[in-house]
């Protein structure tokens, strides 16, 4: 008898992810917490399929109220969308080449009101630009004003492929094909560090510079940087130590396409061009293990959930996959039809909102969702769960507080 090929879903924690694909569509995937309803499903689709609006770069600001997603498209358009309902808040046309990467600032600058936000974009030929975009609340018209923005050149030649901004949003990192990794102070706008290519190997062969992905190892520490190169290497740079990599790890034979650091500041996760996903402990440079799960297409983007031990990856095979970090098992896979370019997680999603009955009804059915929302008040167990979770969290908090206190005592 045929076995069904659906992956066994081993209790996916509640999450809400947005996926971005080559046809310019944004799809919202939600997994509800609970015993039955934890299979992730496509809830919404924003936008119409149009190849010229292929999404190339994405950044999310997942604050509590009014979360925003910045979307850079192939035709040079930059859009600011609401992460909750997909309303277009603002749009700008970017000049000067295709967008390589972008970052939406999370901290709000004092002189700017909450109605505007700051965006760092970088084009593939190295033009970085800080701009503030005013948000119009009405979704229909988007008369955004391009405030005096600051532009500078990151590199003179080569193409920028990756960039990253550290947790405090003071430093930005750029690298690419033929561009050595360099770090910029965003306030002073000057280059405070640049990498040096590793020496020739014992056969006197020099591998050309080609960075494909970059990330800060720790959120609060801007000094340690992890990058992935096209020559299947993962390197750790310490800007306080030296200009050459501290550790470099070789992994199989296809280029590293996505790198992300874990919360603990040691472990990193990276994906390759042939669909392998692995984790490495960056203190020792040892590979902790691979994530095995029939992943057949190049991995383009990985995100780490800030609370639960899961990561989500997406890539050219059109699947969004959710992995457990401890067992390195595949929790679930959602087929999203197109080649995906990016994925982001909306971390404010709690999963308790609709009831467990939502699992039975089709998520696209708006009426069903409405009904569920009505039923929401009547159902007990979900609420209980929430309270228990809260307890857990509070316990954690207490623990951490205790620790802090102890440390203080010491």
Partner 1 sequence: MGFKRKRNDKEGDDDAGEEVREVSHTVKKSHVLPSSIKNKDQRSAVYAKIKQEKKRDKIKKTRARDAAEKKALELGEELPPKKVPRTIENTRELDETVCKPDDEELFAGHDADEFSSIIKRDSIPKILITTCRFNSTRGPAFISELLSVIPNAHYFKRGTYDLKKIVEYANNKDFTSIVVVHTNRREPDALVIIALPEGPTAHFKLSKLVLRKDIKGHGNPTGHTPELILNNFTTRLGNRVGRMIHSLFPQNPNFKGRRVVTFHNQRDFIFFRHHRYIFEQKETKQSDTKGKKVKEAKDEKSTFKGKTIARLQECGPRFTLKLRSLQHGTFDTKGGEYEWVHKAEMDTSRRRFFL
**Chain positions contacting partner 1, by CB under 8 A:** 1-6, 22-23, 25, 49-51, 210, 230-231, 253-255, 257, 273-275, 292-294, 296-298, 316-318, 335, 337-339
* Closest CB to partner 1 among residues 22, 302: 22
Rg (CA), the chain: 22
Q: Cα(30)–Cα(373) distance, rounded to whole angstroms?
A: 16
CB of 335 to partner 1, least distance (A): 5
Please give the distance of CA 1 from its chain centroid, rounded to a whole number. Answer: 40
Helix (H, G, I), strand (E, B) or coil at 224: strand
DSSP H helical ranges for 155-311: none
- CB atoms near residue 291 (< 10 Å): 23
Q: Please, what is the minimum distance in Å from the beta carbon of residue 392 to partner 1?
A: 35
Which one, 39 or 266, has the nearer CB to partner 1?
Answer: 39
Neighbouring C-beta atoms of residue 63, cutoff 10 Å: 16
3-state helix, strand, coil in the chain (%, to 5): 10, 40, 45
Q: Kindly state the smallest distance separating residue 315's Cβ from partner 1, in Å.
A: 9
Q: How far is the CB of 228 from partner 1 (least distance, A)?
A: 12
Both structure tokens of 340:
């995906």
Least distance from C-beta 177 to partner 1, angstroms?
9
Q: For residue 93, report the phi and psi dihedrals to the nearest 5 degrees.
A: -95, 125
Q: Which is nearer to partner 1, 116 or 230 (CB)?
A: 230
Q: How far apart are CA 16 and CA 318, in angstroms?
A: 17
Closest separation in Å from C-beta 316 to partner 1: 5
Nearer to partner 1 by Cβ, of 319 and 349: the residue is: 319
Half-sphere exposure (Cβ direction) of 132: Cα atoms closer than 13 Å: 14
Nearer to partner 1, 229 or 372 (CB): 229
Task: State the sign of the Cα–Cα–Cα–Cα dihedral 9, 288, 273, 74.
Answer: positive
Nearer to partner 1, 84 or 159 (CB): 159
Question: Residue 175: CB partners within 8 Å, gap ≥ 6?
Answer: 160, 161, 162, 163, 181, 182, 195, 211, 214, 227
- Is the CB of 84 or the CB of 338 nearer to partner 1? 338
For the bound state, the minimum distance from the C-beta of residue 159 to partner 1, rounded and expressed in Å, comes to 13
Shortest distance in whole angstroms from residue 273 CB to partner 1: 4
Nearer to partner 1, 152 or 206 (CB): 206
C-alpha dihedral, 219 to 223 to 228 to 231, nearest 10°:
-170
Phi, psi of 367 (to 5 degrees): -60, -45
């Amino acid at each position: 008898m045929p076995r069904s090929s659906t992956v066994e879903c081993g209790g996916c924690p509640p999450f809400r992810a947005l996926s971005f694909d080559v046809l310019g569509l944004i799809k919202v995937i939600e997994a509800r917490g609970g015993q039955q309803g934890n299979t992730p499903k496509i809830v919404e689709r924003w936008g119409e399929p149009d190849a010229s609006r292929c999404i190339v770069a994405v950044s999310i600001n997942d604050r509590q109220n009014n979360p925003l997603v910045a979307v850079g498209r192939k035709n040079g358009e930059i859009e600011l969308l609401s992460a909750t309902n997909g309303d277009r808040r603002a749009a700008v046309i970017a000049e000067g080449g295709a967008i390589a990467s972008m970052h939406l600032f999370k901290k709000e600058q004092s002189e700017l009101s909450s109605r505007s936000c700051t965006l760092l974009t970088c084009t593939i030929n190295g033009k970085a630009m800080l701009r503030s975009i005013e948000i119009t609340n009405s979704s229909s018209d988007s008369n955004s004003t391009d405030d005096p923005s600051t532009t500078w050149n990151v590199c003179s030649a080569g193409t920028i492929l990756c960039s990253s901004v550290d947790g405090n949003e003071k430093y930005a990192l750029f690298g690419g094909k033929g561009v050595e990794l360099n770090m910029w102070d965003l306030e002073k706008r000057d280059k405070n560090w640049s990498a040096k290519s590793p020496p020739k190997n014992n056969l006197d062969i020099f591998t050309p510079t080609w960075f494909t992905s970059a990330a800060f190892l720790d959120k609060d520490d801007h000094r340690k940087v992890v990058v992935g190169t096209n020559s299947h290497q993962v390197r750790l740079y310490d800007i306080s130590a030296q200009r050459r990599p501290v550790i470099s790890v070789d992994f199989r034979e296809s280029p590293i396409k996505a790198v992300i650091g874990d919360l603990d500041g040691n472990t990193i996760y990276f994906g390759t061009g042939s669909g392998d996903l692995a984790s490495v402990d960056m203190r020792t440079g040892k590979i902790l293990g691979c994530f095995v799960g029939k992943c057949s297409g190049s991995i383009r983007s990985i995100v780490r959930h800030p609370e639960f031990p899961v990561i989500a990856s997406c890539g050219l095979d059109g699947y969004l996959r959710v992995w457990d970090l401890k067992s390195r098992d595949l929790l679930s896979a959602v087929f999203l039809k197109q080649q995906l370019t990016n994925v982001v997680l909306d971390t404010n999603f709690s999963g308790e909102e609709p009831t467990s009955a939502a699992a039975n009804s089709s998520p696209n059915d708006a009426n069903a969702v409405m009904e569920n929302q009505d039923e929401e008040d009547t159902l007990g167990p979900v609420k209980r769960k929430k309270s228990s979770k809260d307890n857990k969290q509070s316990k954690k908090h207490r623990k951490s507080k205790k620790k802090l206190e102890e440390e203080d005592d010491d």
